[in-house]
Chain A
């Protein structure tokens, strides 16, 4: 076996080992042996590289700003329980202390609703998306469907899997309508645990659409 022949198959055997002829060449050829030693050494040293770069502070500020705009984060006092037991809002069951706690909970939820109202509001309609247009700035009275991230997602799908573009567009419209309906209901009636459950489910569904589109656009 020549060095050229050995080095041609080397990419495919370096980790698992070669056949008898290949191993024999490796043992007897100092050039190829040095080469393999170097390549393995590089791989070993690479494994030792630890993450060593911190992003600048501006990265977190950007993340936080986006999350606040999208309504994903709210101050610690307003964290809603995942499943608010309906009984919390039945003062008769809990007595005076419970009634005060229930009222406090309602006040906190109402404050949370006020935060929603102070963000950009988008009313639900079935807006048509032209995915070839650049991202549009959201306006207070604009249809709910298309925020910048939705547009970017659809552009990626359009580029990588055009056959699926209409499917994802229609699905984003549907889940955004679900989110909008549920959110409005929570604002109308903060005590409505079912509405909050629907809102969580709606976000879950949107998350699934993003996840599947992301996987789609990588294939």
Chain B
């Protein structure tokens, strides 16, 4: 084959990897060199995927297979790296399990899809898109980048995320946000509970919305927020001396809704539940 060049020159390098004769655990390692703004995608039905930002311009993928019924395909096309678990026939969770450990440049955009996970991503400055059906998802230390997470019922935890758009959606998974701030933060669940601990900083627009789960917010007294909370069939309570909002047609309903401002009201915060309980407590 013609010689291939790595990096952002648009060349294509294909590495086709097949499972070898069955061993207890078969490990494959792939290394690629990428340019700035690379994208890395990992698709893995069963098993954990951990992605960490590291210095340098290498993408390192270590995949550990536990049966010969699965294989791992990995390829690079220009600045795009894709690793995927492939099973020619349907496998059980145990047979199909592959564990991925991935190191990427910190500015790489990362996409991970896994049914069972868990999925972990940390120390990144590129966009993060994580999707897991029943996977536990954890994201830490991401700044100046968008974070999008979707699960069907996997719990989601975000810690120390800042300066990007955050969009979290889960039907039944509980969502825990600690020190998460940005220009736009949106969390939607159907019955998952939503816990937010932080100051709703960055002068952002925050929406925490669910159907029947509870929404609990731990807020420092120094937070600067314009906050509205409504629960149609549930209840609301809060610990703060909120300044009443002027020039608004919003009519608070004691026990069901409240609205007000703390300090300058730099960030807009909407807490919305259909039938859950909303609590805003002092941190």
Contacts and interface: CB of A to CB of B under 8 A. Distances in A.
Is there any pair of Cβ atoms, one from A and one from B, under 8 angstroms apart in the complex?
yes
Contact of B1 (A13, A87, A197): A13
B12 interface: yes
B272 A175 contact: no
Contacts of B2: 16-19
A154 interface: no
A202 B190 contact: yes
Nearest to A159: B90
* Contact size range, B: 35 or more
A81 to B, nearest CB: 16
B274 A198 contact: yes
A161 B96 CA distance: 12
B258 to A, nearest CB: 13
B43 A171 contact: no
B125 interface: no
B193 interface: no
Contact of B115 (A17, A161, A195): A161
A177 B172 contact: no
A54 B112 CA distance: 38
A174 B172 contact: yes
A215 B115 CA distance: 11
Contacts of A86: 249-250
Contacts of B233: 181
Contact of A198 (B43, B46, B152, B211): B211
Interface in A137-181: 160-161, 163-164, 167-168, 170-171, 174-175, 177-178, 181
A65 B272 CA distance: 34
A174 B92 CA distance: 27
B133 interface: yes
Interface in A196-219: 197-198, 201-202, 204-205, 208-209, 212, 215-216, 219
A201 B249 contact: no
Given A178-B211, A178-B274, A205-B190, A168 B152 contact: yes
Given A16-B2, A198-B274, A205-B188, 10 more contacts: A16-B1, A170-B153, A171-B152, A174-B211, A175-B171, A177-B190, A178-B212, A182-B274, A208-B150, A208-B169
Interface of A: 12-13, 16-19, 86-87, 90, 93, 160-161, 163-164, 167-168, 170-171, 174-175, 177-178, 181-182, 185, 192, 194-195, 197-198, 201-202, 204-205, 208-209, 212, 215-216, 219
